[in-house]
Amino acid sequence: MTSQLRFGVLGLTHDHIWDHLPDLKTEEGVELVSAADPHLALRERCADEFGCAVYERYEDVWADDSLDGVFIYADNATGAELAIAAAQAGRHLLIEKPMASDLESADTVLVQARQAGVRVMVNWPFAWWPQLQHALRLANSGDVGEVWQVRYRAAHEGPREMGCSPYFCDWLYDPARNGAGGALTDYCCYGALLARTVIGLPSRVSGTAGRFVKQDIEVEDNAILVMTYPHALAVSEGSWTHIGKLGAYVTMIFGERGTLLIEPRDGGRLLRADPDHPEGVAVPVPEAPPHLRNATAHFAHGLRTGEAFCQLCDDRLCRDTQEILEAGLISAEEGREVSLPLK
């Protein structure tokens, strides 16, 4: 693989792509070559702001043999289809979270990628928090002892209310394209991944979801997943009706000898409590190395070096996260606890 990596973009309806396109233009050794989306306005914006070739047909991107990889930023259902097609064309994949709209699609992406010999990285915005990176290092090293609980709350006032584009909202509120749910699929996925990363795959999942505030949408606006292990548990909360920033995106890892808390406000901080410091003390967080500062840098680093992607972006863990989500959706719909593995 050459030192200059050439990337294309498949889909522009996921608003997160507009955070990554600047990195694709400025990251050393990376070239943004092309993008495709069926919406003319999005193609025009991409061409005007970033100067790459744009196409209406997705296949015009992945058919370019000069490309090393593609960034996939369509809706969750379409994204899995694009990932499969691009993998079959020999392109490495960066897929925006979650991995797909359902477990079957996630499994198919993995199979096709393995058969084609291409790599898969799943991007999660919180993977680039230095505080979370360091908290995971501490937890994995046994700093707080054996972990017996993980808790994560992802919450805001709602996609429309926080200013998401009409293109993004159009499929976030569509259970077929989002993944059989709303806030559960969109936001409980984070805590499910964190639990899978720190503790492992749970043995049982319980989910509850409802439309409690936003009666003008067809999907749930709040959801909770409870993941049960033989000697641990995890809780993931997702809300589209959370007013203000208090309590939003708070991360907690509970161990036998200590507790870690990430408070994201004011630039973020990591706190650690133990018997000698019950109120908690701030933990110095080292500066992230260049390849852990954003998705583009990490994807490029992995492709150049062959090194594994970080835990939070690992395709197998993200596939398992999809299984947890699917179990939670079944549980919420049928009112019962669901055992894992599903198959």
Do 156 and 113 belong together in one domain? no
Domain boundary residue among 123, 142, 163? 123
Q: pLDDT-based confidence at 266, cuts 50/70/90?
A: confident
Q: Strands across the sheet with 69-72, in order?
A: 53-55, 30-36, 5-10, 69-72, 92-96, 120-123
Beta bridge partners of 261: 252, 271
CB atoms within 10 A of CB 215: 7
CA neighbor of 103 nearest in space, from 127, 121, 77: 77
User: Per-residue pLDDT for 3 more than 80?
Assistant: no
Beta bridge partners of 225: 207, 236
Q: pLDDT tens digits, residue range 277-328?
A: 999 999 999 999 999 999 999 999 999 999 999 999 999 999 999 999 999 9
Distances (CA, A) of 338 to 76, 82, 113: 23, 30, 29
Domain boundary residue among 74, 101, 123? 123
Report yes or no on 84 lying in a domain: yes
Distances (CA, A) of 105 to 81, 95, 251: 8, 13, 29
276 CB contacts (<8 Å, ≥6 apart)? none
Report yes or no on 312 lying in a domain: no
Q: pLDDT-based confidence at 155, cuts 50/70/90?
A: very high
Question: d(Cα 116, Cα 110) in Å, to the nearest integer?
Answer: 10
Do 90 and 34 belong together in one domain? yes
Report yes or no on 310 lying in a domain: no
Do 146 and 221 belong together in one domain? yes
Report yes or no on 302 lying in a domain: no
Do 210 and 157 belong together in one domain? yes
Do 110 and 166 belong together in one domain? no
Do 222 and 169 belong together in one domain? yes
Domain range for 201: 127-291+321-339
Residue whose pair of structure tokens reads 């596939």 in the numeric block? 319
CATH code, domain carrying 156 = 3.30.360.10
Report yes or no on 308 lying in a domain: no
Do 146 and 176 belong together in one domain? yes
Number of independent structural domains in the chain? 2
CATH code, domain carrying 50 = 3.40.50.720
Q: Is the dihedral of CA 102, 106, 107, 112 positive or negative?
A: positive
Structure tokens at 323: 């299984």
Do 100 and 202 belong together in one domain? no
Report yes or no on 10 lying in a domain: yes
Do 221 and 110 belong together in one domain? no
Do 56 and 161 belong together in one domain? no
CA neighbor of 41 nearest in space, from 18, 13, 72, 19: 13
10 Å CB burial of residue 188 (0-12, 13-18, 19+) is: buried
Over pLDDT 70: what percentage of the chain?
Answer: 99
Domain boundary residue among 91, 123, 155? 123
Do 224 and 277 belong together in one domain? yes
Report yes or no on 149 lying in a domain: yes
Report yes or no on 196 lying in a domain: yes
pLDDT confidence of residue 2: 58
User: Per-residue pLDDT for 159 more than 70?
Assistant: yes
- In this prediction the pTM is 0.97
Do 112 and 187 belong together in one domain? no
Q: pLDDT tens digits, residue range 73-126?
A: 999 999 999 999 999 999 999 999 999 999 999 999 999 999 999 999 999 999
